[in-house]
A and B are shown apart, each in its own frame.
Chain A
Amino acid sequence: MTATVSISSIEKNFGATKTLKGVSVDVAAGEFLTLVGPSGCGKSTLLRIIAGLIPQDGGTISIDGAPVDHLLPKARDVSMVFQSYALYPHMSVRENIATPLKVRRLSSFARWPLVGKFAPGQAAARAEIAEAVKQVAAQVEIEALLDRRPAQLSGGQRQRVALARAMVRQPRVFLMDEPLSNLDARLRVHMRGELSELHQRLGATFIYVTHDQVEAMTMSTRVALMMDGEIVQVATPDEIYTNPADVRVARFIGSPEINLLQGRADPQGRISIAGRATALRTEAVGQLTVGLRPEILTIDDGSSDIVIDGRLQRVERLGHDVLLHVRNDGSDRKNMTLRVSAAELEALQMSGRLEENFTIGARATAALLFDADGKRLPAIHGATASEPLTYSSGRKLVGV
């Protein structure tokens, strides 16, 4: 009951606007793939196309290797959990969960209200359905709520009912459209864990849409980041964070946002930031962007490969960690964010180093380089590089 899903060059236009511009991605059987991106990037549309709820204008969806473009939603053997839960408002929880099975297993006459009870030969099917409903209700812990109406349930309970309704017919593929975004913060964290657990237990293929990068990072096997109707990068959560293919990916993934600084590469490929030479090297020449994650920045103690002048603007305490908002008074007046531990902040304050201008430092190996179009550039940084490059140490070259 698990299947591969292959999405190949899907296009969708709404009037003149191109919502999806040839999106392709292959989802392995049993994978938890998250489509993440800002609102309006087309991720929900893509999910509805996979389900067959709206037709695509081009491209093919295949499930388990077989194209399903001609199939109605009900014939695709996928189920979906909606952001609004989409429970049937006038039916009890029990009826809500039983509906997908009733429609499939009972004759159409037996589903008539009132008279349907007298349809012959349906007793066995009815007993099976009741049993299946009881089982999934137990799995998501809503046995006590079976006789209530959706209006009498809290958001978290509705969410569980929607999950149970999706699970009860054991589909090959689960589609989830921002299922956690209507829950409060605490419940969201809890349900994140439950969904991951559910995915492991069921072993089914999950395609999960969210605009919340934390959900994407914590639950997924792989993350597909969508922007403006295109998939910019598909990678594991770890990979997409440490090795983004595009500056948009780097900005979207990670909180607080990555610090992007204007840099300049001289004809030898040596990069300088705000007028200061750094140990960074690349093969390109001219304007480029240097991305530095908040946690790789430190207050420089003379050992950094990259140094930037700064002045403290504001301290934001998050408990264990502290964010330092620093301003560079150089040519581009850039604000930067540093993430340090509370203990480090204590030490810095004791030494009085935050009171005047100071320099921020980072290791060259941790910097991410992007060209003027936002595409990732390979950095060249000597022995520590992941690529097998054979340049000598950057430090010697710039002569710091």
Chain B
Amino acid sequence: MSRPGSFFMRMGLTPGQIAMHAFLLACAFAMLFPFYWMVLTAFRPSQEVFSATFHWLPQTFVGFDNFREAFAKAPLLRFMANGAIICSGILAVQLLTAIPCAYALAKYEFRGRNLLFALVLFALCVPVQVPALPLYMGLAFTGTLDSYFSLMLPFFLSVFAIFLFRQVFRSFPDDIIHAARLDGMGEMEILWRVVVPSASPAIAAFAVFSITAHWNDLYWPLIVVTSPELAPPPLGMMYFSDTDLGSSFGALMAAATLLTAPLTILFLFAQRHFVQGVTMTGVK
């Protein structure tokens, strides 16, 4: 009576949809398993990591011992504070520069506008490694290496933000801008008080992109920072995985869990805006 697949048929799923979901589940597993392993290891003794058999739960539950060890050996709060300073500094300057720039490209008619926008698109294709050397030399020349400023400088101008906000601002109705001009607002006031509030989903989405990228960045901090007290989370982890926590996988994973937690929480809160902003519904 009950043939194979009849359960899925009753659920209203076609074979194609079943295959699709199986594929997506496999992908989700591949993505999430490393995180699971990280959290799992944070709660078990280090020697279990090397046991031959895999267990879904810790065989010996060590509670928060690994976390205590991580806090004792590495200044994790300091790394997180560094990450927060760098990310907020970068984001603030990115928004202050990209928003007016994107607005001009989206809503003003001027000579060379299309050329400028083409240059913005072109700049999207330049990887951060390319200007690394001149930037490093510039920082060395001005004596600003090994500072928060040197960590933030290359990211102040975000072409991605300009591109994203331009697309969003373009869909903002001209009539509302005209109405604001007739009401007597200045151009900057129109931008920040009328246009930007409607773009908040896109701004939230961009904030998630920006914060994730710079919280997790290892490449640039590795080049410009030598003092451990300036290290953002990944660099700090690297310093301490070598020396103090090297053999203690449990503590290392506990530290990693703590350092990824802020981003996970941020994403959970901004998720709705994030999806909305990326699909660029912008203004209704």
In the bound assembly, the distance between CA atoms of A104 and B185 in angstroms comes to 9
Inter-chain contact A51/B178, CB cutoff 8 Å: yes
A82-B178, A84-B175 known; A89-B284 Cβ under 8 A: yes
Which B residues have a C-beta under 8 Å from some C-beta of A?
173, 175-176, 178-185, 189, 193-194, 197-198, 283-284
Q: Is the CB of A151 within 8 A of B176?
A: no
Q: In the complex the two chains form, what is the Cα distance from A79 to B184 in whole Å?
A: 10
A100 contacts B284, C-beta separation under 8 Å:
no
A133 to chain B, nearest CB (A): 13
Knowing A84-B173, A88-B194, A89-B283, the reply to whether A72 touches B181 (Cβ < 8 A) is yes
Q: Are A78 and B198 in contact (CB under 8 A)?
A: no
A83 to B181, CA, bound (A): 16
Q: In whole angstroms, what is the CA distance A352 to B282 when docked?
A: 65
A53 within 8 A of B: yes
Q: Are B184 and A82 in contact (CB under 8 A)?
A: no
Q: Please give the residue numbers on chain A whose beta carbons come within 8 Å of chain B beta carbons, in ascending order.
A: 48, 51, 53, 72-74, 78-80, 82-84, 86-90, 99-100, 103-104, 111, 113, 151, 165
Tell me whether A86 and B197 are in contact in the complex, defined as CB-CB below 8 angstroms, given that A100-B183, A100-B184 are known contacts: no
Task: Supply 21 A–B pairs (Cβ within 8 Å), ascending by A.
Answer: A48-B178, A51-B182, A53-B181, A73-B181, A74-B185, A79-B182, A80-B182, A83-B175, A84-B175, A86-B173, A86-B176, A87-B176, A87-B179, A88-B176, A88-B194, A89-B197, A89-B198, A99-B183, A100-B184, A103-B184, A151-B284
Chain B residues closer than 8 Å to A104, beta-carbon distance: 184
Q: A53-B182, A89-B176, A90-B197 are in contact. List 8 more A-B contacts (CB 8 A).
A: A74-B182, A74-B183, A82-B175, A99-B183, A99-B185, A103-B184, A103-B185, A151-B284
Q: How far, in whole Å, are A87 and B176 apart by their CA atoms in the complex?
A: 6
What are the residues of chain A within 8 A of B180 when measuring CB–CB? 88, 99
B43 vs chain A, min Cβ distance (A): 44
> Across the A-B interface, how many residue pairs have beta carbons closer than 8 Å?
61
Distance of A207 from chain B, by nearest CB (Å): 14
A78–B183 CA distance with the chains assembled, in angstroms: 9
A259 CB, min distance to chain B CBs, angstroms:
39
Residues in A with CB closer than 8 Å to B178 are 48, 51, 53, 73, 80, 82, 86
Sorted nearest first, the 6 A-B pairs with minimum C-beta distance are A74-B184, A86-B175, A103-B184, A86-B179, A90-B197, A100-B183
A100 CA / B284 CA spacing, docked (Å)? 23
**B-side contacts of A103, CB under 8 Å:** 183-185, 189
The answer to whether A78 and B173 touch across the interface, beta carbons within 8 angstroms, is no
Q: Considering the chains assembled together, what is the distance between the CA atoms of A83 and B194 in angstroms?
A: 19
- Pick the most buried of A83, A99, A151: most chain B CB atoms within 10 A of its CB: A99
B281 CB, nearest partner CB in chain A, Å: 13
Report the Cα distance A151→B198, complex, angstroms. 12
Q: Which chain A residues border B193 with CB–CB below 8 Å?
A: 113
Q: Is the CB of A78 within 8 A of B182?
A: yes
